[in-house]
Chains A and B, each alone.
Chain A
Amino acid sequence: GIQVEQSPPDLILQEGANSTLRCNFSDSVNNLQWFHQNPWGQLINLFYIPSGTKQNGRLSATTVATERYSLLYISSSQTTDSGVYFCAVTGANSKLTFGKGITLSVRP
């Protein structure tokens, strides 16, 4: 099946800093989603982005499908941004496959 790799595995930021989270995938995808899992375990949809660029407030995402990667940008980070960020893709089997996640800690 399709492989999803996220980097870096862990990230520590000072409040106000910017960051870039990366997701690489091994095959063509029909769907790509970025999620934020908060410390209580809730998975929150951030972006549905199989290709192109989207922005939502301080967050933006870019997927370059031909090169099989996606980037999530967080600007002016806040402590509430802490948690685990997952990239998940749907390939030819129409099954959503998750990466292992990136753990972000934003310090005040």
Chain B
Amino acid sequence: EAGVAQSPRYKIIEKRQSVAFWCNPISGHATLYWYQQILGQGPKLLIQFQNNGVVDDSQLPKDRFSAERLKGVDSTLKIQPAKLEDSAVYLCASSLGTGLDTQYFGPGTRLTVL
């Protein structure tokens, strides 16, 4: 069974530029999550989708971050414009059903904002 796929693995941009990350969850998983992990900390949930609907985006900085999951499968997370403090690893995870199910994580995208 293929795991959660993410791309790119690394990205370096300058502040005020825009960037987008892509995630393909495990086949059949209804719930998809985007997390931000700052160096030295645990991952923090940014947004949770159930199929193609948003369940929780309370910690998503909506003035600069956006995410979509149009067909209930793949998802993209965008930052526009980026700030220095957005430097982090962005992790995508998926689970079969609700947030109570085991979550499986992708390899992450390491973003550096200069």
A and B part of one assembly? yes
**Is the CB–CB distance between A30 and B100 below 8 Å?**
yes
Contacts of A96 in B (CB 8 A): 33, 45, 99, 103
Most chain B CB within a 10 A radius of its CB, from A31, A43, A94: A43
Interface string of B7-48 (1 = CB under 8 A from A): 000000000000000000000000001000000111111001
Contacts of A33 in B (CB 8 A): 102-103
- A-B contact count, CB below 8 Å? 54
B105 to A, closest residue via Cβ: A43
Interface string of A74-108 (1 = CB under 8 A from B): 00000000000010101000111111110000000
Q: A33-B102, A48-B102 are in contact. Are A99 and B42 (CB under 8 A)?
A: yes
B44 to chain A, nearest CB (A): 7
A56 CB-CB contact with B under 8 Å: no
**Is the CB–CB distance between A100 and B105 below 8 Å?**
no
Number of interface residues of A (CB under 8 A): 23
**Is the CB–CB distance between B42 and A86 below 8 Å?**
yes
A100 to chain B, nearest CB (A): 6
A47 to chain B, nearest CB (A): 9
**Is the CB–CB distance between B105 and A98 below 8 Å?**
no
Interface residue ranges of A3-43 to B (CB < 8 Å): 4, 30-31, 33, 35, 40-43
A55 CB-CB contact with B under 8 Å: no
Q: Beyond the given A41-B89, A96-B33, A100-B42, please list 18 additional residue pairs across the A-B interface where CB-CB is below 8 A.
A: A30-B100, A41-B108, A42-B105, A42-B107, A43-B105, A45-B102, A45-B104, A45-B105, A90-B99, A90-B100, A94-B99, A95-B48, A95-B99, A96-B45, A97-B45, A98-B42, A98-B44, A100-B40
By Cβ-Cβ distance, the 10 closest A-B pairs, closest first, are: A98-B42, A94-B99, A43-B105, A48-B102, A31-B100, A41-B108, A42-B107, A98-B43, A30-B100, A86-B42
- 11 A-B pairs with CB atoms under 8 Å apart are A4-B42, A31-B101, A33-B102, A40-B107, A42-B105, A43-B105, A86-B42, A95-B56, A96-B33, A96-B99, A101-B41
